[in-house]
A and B are shown apart, each in its own frame.
Chain A
Amino acid sequence: DVKVTQSSRYLVKRTGEKVFLECVQDMDHENMFWYRQDPGLGLRLIYFSYDVKMKEKGDIPEGYSVSREKKERFSLILESASTNQTSMYLCASASSLGVVTSDEQYFGPGTRLTVT
Chain B
Amino acid sequence: GQNIDQPTEMTATEGAIVQINCTYQTSGFNGLFWYQQHAGEAPTFLSYNVLDGLEEKGRFSSFLSRSKGYSYLLLKELQMKDSASYLCAVRESTGGFKTIFGAGTRLFVKA
Residues of chain A having any CB pair with chain B under 8 Å = 31, 33, 35, 40-45, 48, 50, 56, 58-59, 90, 94, 96, 99-100, 102-110
Cβ of B70 under 8 Å from chain A: no
Residues of chain B having any CB pair with chain A under 8 Å = 8, 30-31, 33, 35, 41-45, 48, 50, 87, 89, 95-104
7 smallest CB-CB distances across A and B, nearest first, come from A102-B48, A42-B103, A107-B42, A43-B101, A104-B45, A50-B96, A31-B97
With A42-B87, A109-B42 as given contacts, are A104 and B96 in contact (CB-CB < 8 Å)?
A: no
B101 touches A42 (CB 8 A): yes
With A42-B87, A107-B44, A110-B42 as given contacts, are A56 and B95 in contact (CB-CB < 8 Å)?
A: yes
- Give A2 to B100 CA distance when docked, in angstroms: 23
Which of A42, A58, A107, A108 interacts with B104 by CB under 8 Å? A42
